[in-house]
Chains A and B, each alone.
Chain A
Amino acid sequence: MSYQEKKVAVSLISALIVFALYAFYMFGMFQEGRFDGPEASSLVGKSSFVLIGASIVVSIVVQIVFAIIHAIATRENERFTSDERDKLIELKAMQIILITFSVGFLASMGVLALEMLLPYMVFLLIILSMFVANIIGDLAKLFLYRRGF
């Protein structure tokens, strides 16, 4: 497994952990009945900022720790910058992320239009779409690195 593949795998695992913690936190609030009142949508909005902030911080910290551990473990002078193939894979993954998120967003709007779920649940569905899109994007990167491009 190359450095770039390991980097993507680490990013995937950290994203899964962050989202699992977010889901656990949101489920806790749900059980406490905090989404029963009119402030439900506001709570989801606030929590989304916490999720995005935490995701960025965790991602940066995990990547730095991974780079240090990898350098110590392999004793290799790996390139930490990306080359043209890495950039193409990144672009392809971004395209997949945007398509997946668009599908999720449209599905959420459909659910909202048909009044199948409460508005705050639709916001949660949009956040879930973002998460799923990122996971699919990371999986696509792993696949493209394995295949060559």
Chain B
Amino acid sequence: MGKGRISNNIRKLRFEHDEMTQKQLAEETGVSRQTIVAIERAKYSPSLQLAFLIAHAFERPLQDVFSYDASD
């Protein structure tokens, strides 16, 4: 599986959620802040479970948070 195919709107969604910090999101999803940073920068693709947890934290469906581009 190639890298860079999965993009996300986490930064935008954090901004829309009262400027939620990366630390707050990390605490809500049970991972480290560094993991959130890596996901936000598309350097790490989270597991399906963590992806759902992040989407749940923003109260959005998964496809609003993550998108997959098959053409890359």
Contacts and interface: CB of A to CB of B under 8 A. Distances in A.
A2 B50 contact: no
A90 interface: no
Chain B interface size, as a band, is: 10 to 19
A10 to B, nearest CB: 17
A145 B47 CA distance: 17
Given A148-B38, A148-B41, A149-B38, A4 B46 contact: no
A79 B44 contact: no
A145 B44 CA distance: 11
Interface in A1-43: 2-4
B32 interface: yes
A84 B35 contact: yes
B61 interface: no
A46 interface: no
A115 interface: no
Contact of B31 (A2, A3, A84): A84
Interface in B22-46: 30-35, 37-38, 41, 43-44, 46
Given A4-B34, A148-B41, 19 more contacts: A2-B33, A2-B34, A4-B32, A79-B32, A83-B35, A84-B31, A84-B35, A84-B46, A84-B50, A85-B31, A85-B34, A85-B35, A85-B38, A85-B44, A86-B32, A86-B35, A147-B43, A149-B38, A149-B43
Interface of B: 30-35, 37-38, 41, 43-44, 46-47, 50
Interface of A: 2-4, 79, 83-86, 145, 147-149
25 contacts: A2-B32, A2-B33, A3-B32, A4-B32, A4-B34, A79-B32, A83-B30, A83-B31, A83-B32, A83-B35, A84-B35, A84-B46, A84-B50, A85-B32, A85-B34, A85-B35, A85-B44, A86-B35, A145-B34, A147-B43, A148-B37, A148-B38, A148-B44, A149-B43, A149-B44
